[in-house]
Amino acid sequence: MRYAVIIAGGAGTRLWPMSRSEQPKQLIPFLNGRSLLQVAVERLRGVIEPERVLICTGEQFRGAIRSAMPQISDDQIIGEPEGRDTLAAVALPAAVVARQDPDATIAVFTADHLIEPVDVFTERVQRGYEIAEQRPQTLVTFGIEPTHAATGYGYVRLGEAIEGFEHASKTLEFKEKPDEATAEQYVADGSYLWNSGMFVWRAQTLLDCVARYEPSVHEGVVKIAEAWGTPQRGQVVAEIYPTLKKISVDFAVMENAAKDEAVDIATVKMPVKWLDVGGWPAYGQTVDADHTGNRAASDGVLVEQGSDNLVVNDSHDHVIALLGVSDLIVVHTKGATLICHRDAAESIKALHAKVREIFGDEYV
C-alpha cells in the first residue's frame, strides 16, 4: 500500500522573527492565509489517500496542527520530542508503517516547498511509486532541472536512463552544496539536477539501509515502533528518540547507498517551478512586486524613494514606512522586529542564536 510522510519539524530560524518556537515556519499562515504545511498536504490530493498521509513534526505542535487542519487525525501525526535531523524523521515513520504493512511504499516530502504545476508533480510522484514498487531494492529521488547555478542546493548526477520508466535515470552520485564555480560547471554539464529532498522507497528497503549504515538508529526506531500501539509508547519515545544519532538522510543513507551494490538509486526528473521557502528572500518570491520591486506581504506598508524591499507586517494596527532605502528585509511582529540588508539574509540564523543568548527564549 502507498503512504506519504511530510517532514514538518524544522525550526525555521532563517524566517525569524515570524517563525518562532510556538509557531514555526511550516505553521505560519503567510501564503494567502495558508501555511506551508497546509499547502504540502493539499498538493498530495490525487496522489495518495488522505488518511495515509503522515506528518512527522515536533510533538509540541500536535495541537496546533489538529486545530488548523481538522482533517488530519491524531494517528496521522508522528510527534518528535526533539528534532534529530531527517534520518530519524524518515526512519521512524518507516518503522511504524512497516510493522502494520510490511510491503508499504512511502513517499517523503517536506513542508518547505512550493511546487508548480501540481499536475506535473503528481505525474512524476506516481512514476516514483511505480519504480519503488516494481524495483523493490531501488531508492527513488526527484531531481529539479536547475534554472541557475545555485549554491544553496545539493545536486545529483544522472547516469543512463532506466528502461521502462520514462523520465527516470540511474543516479551516479550526490553532491553537496557547491561553490559558485562548481555550480556553474554542474549546470553547463547538463547531467546534474538539484536534489529536491523528496524520495520514494519501500519502507523495508529504507530500514534495511539504515540497519547497514546507521545500526543504532535502526535499533532505536524499531524499539519505538514495537511500542507504538501500546500504553508505553510515550515513555519509549521520550527515552529513545532523543538518543538517536542526529544526521541527515542524505548523508546517512543516500550517499552510502550510491556506493552500495545491494541498492539502486533512481532519479526522476521533475520539471517544475520549485521554491524551497527556507528564508526571507525565497519567501519574497511568493509576494507580488510593485513597479519599483518593493514587495509588501501585508497591509500597513508604505515605501517612498526606495526599491527592492521586502516588508512583512503582522499587526493590523501598526504602520511600517520606509523612506529612501533599498534592498532591505523588514519584518515586524509582536515582540520582535527584524531589519537587515537582503544580502545578509543567510546570517539571520546566527542572529537568532544571538537574540536567544542575550534576550532569552521569549523572543525566539
Please determine, for residue 292, whether its predicted confidence score (pLDDT) is greater than 90.
yes
pLDDT of residue 9: 85
Residue 270 CB neighbour total at 10 angstroms: 24
Please determine, for residue 22, whether its predicted confidence score (pLDDT) is greater than 90.
no
Cβ contact 161:168 at 8 Å: yes
**How far is residue 302's CA from residue 300's CA, in Å, rounded to a whole number?**
7
pLDDT of residue 11: 79
Cβ contact 210:217 at 8 Å: yes
Please determine, for residue 2, whether its predicted confidence score (pLDDT) is greater than 90.
yes
Q: DSSP state, 60?
A: G
**Which CA distances in Å does 305 have to 105, 298, 318?**
55, 19, 21
pLDDT of residue 32: 87
- Scan for cell 532563517, then name that residue: 14
Residue 75 CB neighbour total at 10 angstroms: 10
**Which CA distances in Å does 239 have to 81, 86, 97, 253?**
9, 19, 21, 24
For residue 61 the three cell numbers come to 505542535
pLDDT of residue 211: 98
pLDDT of residue 46: 86
**How far is residue 42's CA from residue 39's CA, in Å, rounded to a whole number?**
5
Nearest-CA neighbor of 266 among 153, 167, 121, 354? Answer: 167
> Percent of the chain at pLDDT above 90?
88
More confident site: 46 or 303: 303
Nearest-CA neighbor of 55 among 19, 96, 17, 16? Answer: 96
Cβ contact 201:105 at 8 Å: yes
pLDDT of residue 13: 93
pLDDT of residue 50: 95
Taken as a whole, the chain contains a residue count of 364
pLDDT (tens digit, 9 = 90+) per residue, 337-363? 999 999 999 999 999 999 999 999 999
For all residues of the chain together, what is the average pLDDT? 95
> Percent of the chain at pLDDT above 70?
100
Please determine, for residue 286, whether its predicted confidence score (pLDDT) is greater than 90.
yes
pLDDT of residue 15: 97
pLDDT of residue 118: 96
Q: Go through the domains of the chain in sequence order and give each one's CATH number.
A: 2-275 (3.90.550.10), 280-363 (no CATH)
Number of helices (H), then strands (E), belonging to the chain: the values are: 12, 17
Exposed/middle/buried for 282, CB within 10 Å: 0-12, 13-18, 19+? middle
Expressed in angstroms, the distance from the first to the final Cα of the chain is: 41
pLDDT (tens digit, 9 = 90+) per residue, 78-114? 999 999 999 999 999 999 999 999 999 999 999 999 9
Please determine, for residue 266, whether its predicted confidence score (pLDDT) is greater than 90.
yes
The amino acid sitting at 148 is H
pLDDT of residue 10: 78
pLDDT (tens digit, 9 = 90+) per residue, 153-211? 899 999 999 999 999 999 998 888 899 999 999 999 999 999 999 999 999 999 999 99
Exposed/middle/buried for 258, CB within 10 Å: 0-12, 13-18, 19+? middle
pLDDT of residue 338: 98
pLDDT of residue 205: 98
**How far is residue 225's CA from residue 230's CA, in Å, rounded to a whole number?**
10
- Sign of the Cα pseudo-torsion (11, 152, 176, 187, in order): positive
Cβ contact 124:142 at 8 Å: yes
Please determine, for residue 226, whether its predicted confidence score (pLDDT) is greater than 90.
yes
Please compute the mean of the pLDDT values over residues 273-292 and round it to a whole number: 95
pLDDT of residue 153: 87
More confident site: 223 or 11: 223
Q: Phi/psi at 93 (nearest 5 deg)?
A: -60, -35
**How far is residue 216's CA from residue 110's CA, in Å, rounded to a whole number?**
24
